[in-house]
């Protein structure tokens, strides 16, 4: 049983290494934001009285697919490197930042749905991350 566990662990570690390259702080940030968004979405659904398992399963599927897209971006980077272009995880970094900003926006929206006031510093940071100022 112990050998099987070690084999499965090594197999999963190899798959993660292939799909994402070296695990970076950006991947950790995206993972934490995805978990926080899921939790805040569940809390907002609970407060609003419309917490449903189907919606939760769709949310989990979306979070998994975010990491599928990050893996695809990493594979694109590998293709570009193999074709002679030195990208240094450029595509993957852009995809991670895109999804991280979306997760931050969603967490902020969920805080509003729960009835929590959102600090001005977070609103300002979101404006910077989005690259435009929609506020008056």
The answer to whether 41 and 110 are in contact (CB under 8 A) is yes
Residues in the chain: 136
Tokens standing for residue 54: 């189907």
Look up residue 23 and give its two tokens: 């695990």
Task: Give the residue-averaged pLDDT of 85-94.
Answer: 86
The predicted model scores a pTM of 0.82
pLDDT at 81: 87
Contact 26, 96 (CB under 8 A): yes
Q: Which two tokens stand for residue 48?
A: 């609003």
Q: Which two tokens stand for residue 96?
A: 């991670």
CB atoms under 10 Å from CB of 53, counted, come to 7
Q: What is the pLDDT of residue 132?
A: 56
Model confidence at 136, pLDDT cuts 50, 70, 90, reads very low
pLDDT of residue 31: 97
């Amino acid at each position: 049983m112990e050998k099987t566990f070690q084999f499965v662990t090594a197999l999963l570690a190899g798959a993660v290494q292939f799909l994402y390259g070296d695990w970076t702080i950006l991947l950790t940030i995206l993972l934490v934001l995805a978990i926080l968004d899921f939790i805040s979405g569940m809390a907002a659904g609970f407060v609003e009285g419309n917490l449903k398992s189907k919606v939760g399963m769709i949310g989990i599927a979306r979070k998994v697919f975010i990491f599928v897209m990050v893996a695809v971006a990493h594979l694109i980077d590998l293709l570009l490197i193999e074709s002679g272009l030195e990208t240094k995880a450029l595509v993957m970094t852009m995809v991670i930042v895109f999804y991280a900003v979306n997760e931050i926006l969603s967490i902020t929206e969920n805080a509003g749905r729960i009835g929590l006031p959102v600090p001005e510093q977070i609103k300002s940071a979101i404006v910077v991350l989005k690259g435009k100022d929609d506020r008056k």
